Amino acid sequence: MNMIKLTIDGIKVTVPADCTVLEAAKSVNIHIPTLCYLKDVNQIGACRMCLVEVQGARSLGAACVLPVTEGMVVRTNTQKLRDARRANLELLLSNHNRECTSCIRSNSCELQALCHEYNVKEYPYDGAKTESILDDVSHSIVRDNSKCILCRRCVATCNDVQKVGAIGVAQRGFKTSVNCIYNKSLADSPCINCGQCIIACPVGALHEKDSIQDVWNALQDPDKYVVVQPAPAVRAALGEEFGLPIGTPVTGKLATALRRLGFDKVFDTNFTADLTILEEGTELLGRLNNNGVLPMITSCSPGWIKFCETFYPAFIPHLSSCKSPHEMMGAVVKSYFAEKNNIDPKSIYTVSVMPCTAKKFESKRDELGREGMRDVDAVLTVRELARMIKTAGIDFTNLNDGSFDDMLGDSSGAGVIFGATGGVMEAALRTVYEVVTGKELENVNFEAVRGIEGVKEATIDLNGTKINVAIAHGTGNASKLLDSIQNGEKQYHFIEIMGCPGGCVTGGGQPIIASSQLMSIDPKVERAKALYLEDASNPIRKSHENPSVQKLYADFLGKPNSHKAHELLHTHYKPRPKYN
């Protein structure tokens, strides 16, 4: 590898030749401020916050796009640079909604942090502001252009990573804005509600549709029986909202906090993740044995489902008919649980705590409910749950570890790894292998389907029957995979697709990590570690061995894919127009 030697702030640095000055500075712990930069997503030098002085150069350079050269001498902290950065911040603020104390990103805003860092106290360029748009029509995402700083991180994420293209840059100069085509709402665009734009945004221009007050109202209603369920990935990230390191598992504290908030029952989506494996695995075997439509593709991720319905409708018959795990839980709570406990299902209010903004849209789908009831009544993101815990005055980090309620709170290790890319596939293979072969797995870890490569594939030998499987995470990678199938380049039997890069652990409803942190830590990896550790420590590691799931079938559903199971746990999908 060709290496380059340069000097940054008097420090000798040796880095690969393809490095930028920003990356070289980071390698020796020199901090250069950024706003538009987002590692591996957006490197355009637009915000001019990362300006540096290079000896011999006529002008300042943007470190995020400035390549290193042999013998280069760089300075990152001079009065000229500090003045330039402060002026850039003042110019950004001149066209910015400065209601910081009431902003959803107050204290986690990258613009606000830089203003503190550079001691910006005045607004010398205050004047006309561009016309702003508040788009709150979507069930999942609110877009507030009055807070947009035109960093384009959301645009790069939507167009280049997810390959959706719901938003883009319109007009020029002072009138430049980030918008949907023809100024449509996100609800009338190809938006798949994944929320990756929210994760990318450094300010409060994008955030989830708030459901907190709806949940408080339900908890205060004496006529409602309020049941909550957290998704697998929630336990790997919630602690970050309270200062714990990225990827700290907080399962016990999560259960305790939910009970403290006043929910009548605290169940676990991991339970219905196990249930999903029984239903989905049986569906796969049925297709394999009866010349059904193959490859079968998982249907747990609502962002992926809407992407398929919008951009790849020819693959709709390939989708598993299974509802996602949290929707299954809602259906089971309002049928089996209600019947066993003599509760009127119409009085039950189900709340899902999800790492995902697309779940908000999913819960409103006409197909997901029965007898006038929705399967899930409200969806909270991890960030919303954290705000509720703080509002309630709960000292989260000092909580004792609690547990989920019996009946629908038990789960296997296979259920928890649903939160990481490859987890649904691995959980399914653990069960399908034993069903097909009649043999006990000696090693339940399917390492071939783990990892954060964009597309992974493997061939699994089921005692002489070989099945080809593939895993993709992020809809941009899903496009590559589906295109290879359409072109006849690849053939598979079973595919897992998650709408968000990394799977649910980095979903659009998870805690937001500053771009400076993302230069040195990968939340996809760290949060997944927490889930795999919980899987490894669980005495039951296969979904079909969950005794509570076995009891559900024995007492109520009969068997996987039974008529009652289809009535409650399965659904259908439909093609969607790109623009309404």
In the chain, the percentage of residues whose pLDDT exceeds 70 is 100
* pLDDT > 80? residue 1: no
Tokens of 380: 């909270």
Stated length of the chain? 580
Q: How many CB atoms lie within 10 A of CB 57?
A: 13
- Compute the half-sphere exposure of residue 221: CA atoms within 13 Å on the CB side of its CA: 14
The token duo for 70 is: 């042999």
Catalytic residue among 320, 352, 411, 412: 320
pLDDT class for 128, splitting at 50, 70, 90? Answer: confident
- pLDDT, one tens digit per residue, over 6-63 is 999 999 999 999 999 999 999 999 999 999 999 999 999 999 999 999 999 999 999 9
Task: Dump strand ranges (E) for 356-481.
Answer: 369-370, 373-374, 378-381, 455-462, 465-473
Compute the Cα dihedral for 538, 541, 543, 545 and give only its sign.
negative
CB 511 within 8 A of CB 240: yes
pLDDT in tens, 442-467: 899 999 999 999 999 999 998 888 99
Q: In what helix (H) or strand (E) does residue 90 lie, and over which residues does it extend?
A: helix 79-94
Radius of gyration of the CA atoms of the chain, in A? 25
**Ranges of CATH 3.30.70.20 domains, the chain:** 92-208
Pick the closest to residue 528 from 448, 440, 417, 435 (CA basis): 417
How far, in Å, CA of 498 to CA of 504, rounded? 7
pLDDT tens digits along 194-209: 999 999 999 999 999 9
| 389-433 per-position pLDDT tens digit | 999 999 999 999 999 999 999 999 999 999 999 999 999 999 999
Nearest to residue 28, comparing CAs of 45, 10, 44, 40?
A: 10
Tell me which of 209, 265, 334, 359 is the catalytic residue. Answer: 359
Contact 240, 233 (CB under 8 A): no
Q: Is 574 exposed, middle or buried (0-12, 13-18, 19+ CB in 10 A)?
A: exposed
Q: Where are the alpha helices (DSSP H) in 231-381?
A: 251-260, 269-289, 302-311, 325-332, 338-340, 358-363
d(CA 432, CA 342): 35
Largest distance between two CA atoms of the chain: 80
Q: What is the three-class DSSP state of 245?
A: coil
Question: 484 pLDDT exceeds 90?
Answer: yes
Give the number of other Cβ atoms within 10 Å of residue 109's Cβ. 21
Catalytic residue among 208, 241, 283, 426: 283
User: Which helix (H) or strand (E) is 8 found in, with range?
Assistant: strand 3-8
Q: Is 456 a catalytic residue?
A: no
Please list, in sequence order, all residues whose beta carbon lies within 8 angstroms of the beta carbon of residue 302, skipping any fewer than 6 positions away. Answer: 193, 324, 356, 358, 359, 361, 362, 499
pLDDT higher than 90, residue 571: yes
- What is the helix (H) or strand (E) element at residue 91, kind and residue range? helix 79-94
Catalytic pick among 241, 362, 434, 496? 362
Residue type, 378: A
- How far, CA to CA in Å, does 23 sit from each of 35, 86, 161, 524? 15, 22, 21, 20
User: pLDDT per residue over 246-290, tens digit each?
Assistant: 999 999 999 999 999 999 999 999 999 999 999 999 999 999 999
pLDDT at residue 532, rounded to an integer: 98
Query: Which position among 23, 240, 241, 280 bears the catalytic label?
Result: 280
Residues 151, 114: contact at Cβ < 8 Å? no
On whether the CB atoms of residues 42 and 156 are closer than 8 A, the answer is yes
Q: What is the pLDDT of residues 301-336, one digit of tens each?
A: 999 999 999 999 999 999 999 999 999 999 999 999
Contact 277, 326 (CB under 8 A): no
Q: Amino acid letter at 303?
A: G
pLDDT > 80? residue 160: yes
pLDDT at 411: 97
The confidence score (pLDDT) of residue 131 equals 87
In the CATH hierarchy, which top-level class contains the domain 3-77? alpha beta
Provide the 10 A C-beta neighbour count for residue 80. Answer: 11
Nearest to 470 by CA among 461, 485, 462: 485
CATH number among 3.40.50.1780, 2.10.260.10, 3.40.50.11900, 3.90.226.10, domain 213-569? 3.40.50.1780
Strands 373-374 and 369-370: antiparallel
Among residues 211, 322, 504, 515, which one is catalytic? 504
280 is catalytic: yes
Going by their DSSP bridges, the two strands 465-473 and 455-462 should be labelled as: antiparallel
Torsion angle in degrees (nearest 10) through CA of 500, 501, 507, 508: -80
Backbone phi, psi, residue 27, to 5°: -65, -20
Query: What pLDDT was estimated at residue 380?
Result: 98
User: Which 8-state DSSP code applies to residue 557?
Assistant: I
3-state secondary structure of 207: strand
* pTM check: above 0.95: yes
Question: Lowest-confidence range among 179-183, 211-215, 393-397, 462-466?
Answer: 462-466
Report, as an integer, the average pLDDT of 340-348.
98
User: Is the Cβ–Cβ distance between 469 and 425 less than 8 Å?
Assistant: yes
- Which of 487, 474, 361, 495 lies closest to 425, judged by CA? 495
**Averaged over 159-172, what is the pLDDT?**
96
Burial status of residue 542 (CB atoms within 10 A of its CB: 0-12, 13-18, 19 or more): buried
Express each pLDDT in 75-122 by its tens digit. 999 999 999 999 999 999 999 999 999 999 999 999 999 999 999 998
Is residue 23 annotated as part of the catalytic site, yes or no?
Answer: no
**Residue limits of CATH 3.40.50.1780 in the chain:** 213-569
End-to-end CA distance of the chain: 51
List the beta bridge partners of residue 359: none
**The domain 92-208: what is its CATH number?**
3.30.70.20
Position 126 scores a pLDDT of 84
Where does the pLDDT of residue 578 fall: very low under 50, low under 70, confident under 90, or very high at 90 and above?
confident
Give residue for tokens 């916050």. Answer: 49
Q: Confidence band (pLDDT; 50, 70, 90) for 546?
A: very high
Assess whether 300 carries a catalytic annotation.
yes
Indicate the burial class of 398 (C-beta count within 10 angstroms; 0-12, 13-18, 19 or more): exposed
Catalytic residue among 300, 308, 322, 356: 300
Question: Taking Cα atoms as reference points, which of 177, 153, 206 lies closest to residue 357?
Answer: 206
- Please state, in angstroms and rounded to a whole number, the distance separating the CA atoms of residues 579 and 234: 32
The residue annotated as part of the active site, out of 94, 177, 367, 457, is: 367
